[in-house]
Structure 1
Amino acid sequence: MDTLAGHQDIVVGVDGSEASIGAAKWAAAVAQVVNARLILAHALPQEGPIYSPAAVMLQSQFLNQIREDGEAIIAAASSAVAEKFPSLDIESNIAPGPPTTHILESAGTARLIVMGSTGAGALRSRLLGSTALKVANHATSPVTVWRGTVENPGPDQRPVVVGIDGSPLSKKAVEHAFWFADEFEAPLIAVHTWQGASTFREGGAGILIDWEAVEQEESALLAENLAGMAEQYPDVPVTRISEPGAAAPVMLKYADDAQLLVVGSHGRSAMAGAVMGSTSQNLLHHAPCPVMVARA
């Protein structure tokens, strides 16, 4: 089953940075597999105020230049993608910013939005760019924030790691993770975490808890959330991880050898409509590989 069926486009934000080129290549590989159109979206700087006829002329020249620069950025991304995927349907979408608004408007009911982890002006580090974070916070489609190397952007056959907490968005993340692992013939690592004895002070309420029973209940919850999906995707090898601890640090333990982390935008304790929870935000900032955030 294609969990993103009914949506035809994959939208990727491009800004001329290496991260956006890597994101475009990754998105193109997914688009090729699902027979989707790839839309390269680039936002131009917004127009400023005009105070005089001379300013009008200067601004016109400036706008022409940034339009040319934007078209060059799109052309470079399109060329990088077309070199590896010559038969892929690629379209471009250039419009005034702000970038977050333009990308979200370009996405519409897209199957997937893909963003580079850092923008053209970002420090060369793992810090997450503000546009990527805003898009991941406000999109209705799943969002993948890409990290990796432009030369080998993926996807590949390394494991897909999915976080499970029993929330509706967690179940959607499981669907996306199984689908992705199946399409790219990758194994799946399903991670469920829970509050363990170390959370309680020594000699406190924790001594009254049957931790063996808790562990069995949490393992059962993990199995329940995987029920049906393993049968639907019998060719996907699944490793189940259920252990005490905070979700993000535990998932990051398994991320070094993973090609993708998949997580819901917020968990069981988040209010409806709230921005992303701490786990998804933590992973977006610190994961060494792409992170897919299930929004719907």
Structure 2
Amino acid sequence: MAQDVASGGLVVGVDGSAAALAALRWSAAKARLLHTHVLAVHAWLPSGYLRAPYARVLERPTPDQDRARAAATLEENVAQLLRTHPDADVVSLLREGPAAAVLLRHAQDALFLALGRKPRTDVTQPALGPVARACVRLAACPVVTVPEPPPGAEESGLPWLRDDWAGSLERA
């Protein structure tokens, strides 16, 4: 797990969502096939900047609390990945800054950037969120969006997340 985070690999945006976890699992399976590592990136911003200046000070988390919450989110997603893919070669990276900018910076030399995609519930809205749209538009590498599994689906319920599917590619 001690790869140089600046070189190659597969970069995955992690935000604590089921869709991000699906992207992380998909990328771990692909990394095994490609003999590379996964760089799980979580970007965070101090939430105090997003609050109204007249909000009660006691209700504003400190930047240290925001950073700790972000670190816990990243750690939990990586732990969930390792429960189903214990041999995954994954490096965690926590960075302060806007999500799209952080992901694009770390994906410059990546084989691809993987992002989770939430189900589209309103056809009048864009299929991708603002971070994914910025990454698709500006990334120097291919961007893959992995759909969130449907409610009630088993953890590896998507065909490309099942270990037997990845194994069949290795045998081919």
TM-score above 0.5, yes or no:
yes
With normalisation by structure 2, the TM-score equals: 0.72
Quote the offset at 1:154 in angstroms.
4.2
Deviations 1:157-179 (A, max 9, x none): 9xxxxxxxxxxxxxxxxxxxxxx
Q: Percent identity?
A: 24
Alignment partner, residue 48 of structure 1: 49
Is contact 2:70–2:94 with CA below 8 Å preserved after alignment?
Answer: yes
Alignment partner, residue 108 of structure 1: 108
Give, in whole Å, the separation in 1 of the partners of 2:32 and 2:122.
30
Is contact 1:70–1:94 with CA below 8 Å preserved after alignment?
Answer: yes
Give, in whole Å, the separation in 2 of the partners of 1:40 and 1:156.
17
Alignment partner, residue 38 of structure 1: 38
* DSSP 3-state at the match of 2:106: helix
Give, in whole Å, the separation in 1 of the partners of 2:107 and 2:90.
14
Amino acid of the residue matched to residue 48 of structure 1?
Answer: Y
Give, in whole Å, the separation in 2 of the partners of 1:133 and 1:154.
25
Quote the offset at 1:29 in angstroms.
0.9
* DSSP 3-state at the match of 2:16: coil
Alignment partner, residue 76 of structure 1: 76
Give, in whole Å, the separation in 2 of the partners of 1:125 and 1:28.
30
Give, in whole Å, the separation in 1 of the partners of 2:35 and 2:145.
21
* DSSP 3-state at the match of 1:48: helix
Q: Does 1:184 align with 2:166?
A: no
Q: 1:67 to 1:124 in 2, by over 3 A?
A: farther
Deviations 1:108-163 (A, max 9, x none): 30111000113xxx976683211111111110111101114172244269xxxxxx
* DSSP 3-state at the match of 1:184: helix
* DSSP 3-state at the match of 1:104: helix
Residues matched between the structures, number: 148
RMSD over aligned CA atoms reads 3.1
Alignment partner, residue 11 of structure 2: 11
* DSSP 3-state at the match of 2:49: coil
Is contact 1:44–1:70 with CA below 8 Å preserved after alignment?
Answer: yes
Specify which structure has the bigger relative contact order, considering alpha-carbon pairs within 8 angstroms and separated by 6 or more residues. 2
Alignment partner, residue 90 of structure 1: 90
Deviations 1:77-115 (A, max 9, x none): 101211122122211111112100001112230111000
Give, in whole Å, the separation in 2 of the partners of 1:125 and 1:91.
35
Is contact 2:41–2:94 with CA below 8 Å preserved after alignment?
Answer: yes
Give, in whole Å, the separation in 2 of the partners of 1:112 and 1:44.
21
- Equivalence map 1:232-247=2 (5 Å): none
Alignment partner, residue 24 of structure 2: 24
Structure 2's unaligned 5+ residue stretches are 1-6
Deviations 1:33-78 (A, max 9, x none): 11211111111125739x9xxx7x987x521221111111111110
Structure 1's unaligned 5+ residue stretches are 1-6, 158-180, 186-234, 236-296
* DSSP 3-state at the match of 1:108: coil
Amino acid of the residue matched to residue 160 of structure 2?
Answer: P
Is contact 1:26–1:153 with CA below 8 Å preserved after alignment?
Answer: no
Q: 1:8 to 1:58 in 2, by over 3 A?
A: same
Q: Does 1:155 align with 2:160?
A: yes
Larger radius of gyration: 1
With normalisation by structure 1, the TM-score equals: 0.44
Give, in whole Å, the separation in 1 of the partners of 2:105 and 2:85.
26
Q: 1:125 to 1:35 in 2, by over 3 A?
A: farther
Amino acid of the residue matched to residue 132 of structure 1?
Answer: A
Deviations 1:161-211 (A, max 9, x none): xxxxxxxxxxxxxxxxxxxx9x737xxxxxxxxxxxxxxxxxxxxxxxxxx
Give, in whole Å, the separation in 1 of the partners of 2:64 and 2:135.
27
Alignment partner, residue 146 of structure 2: 146
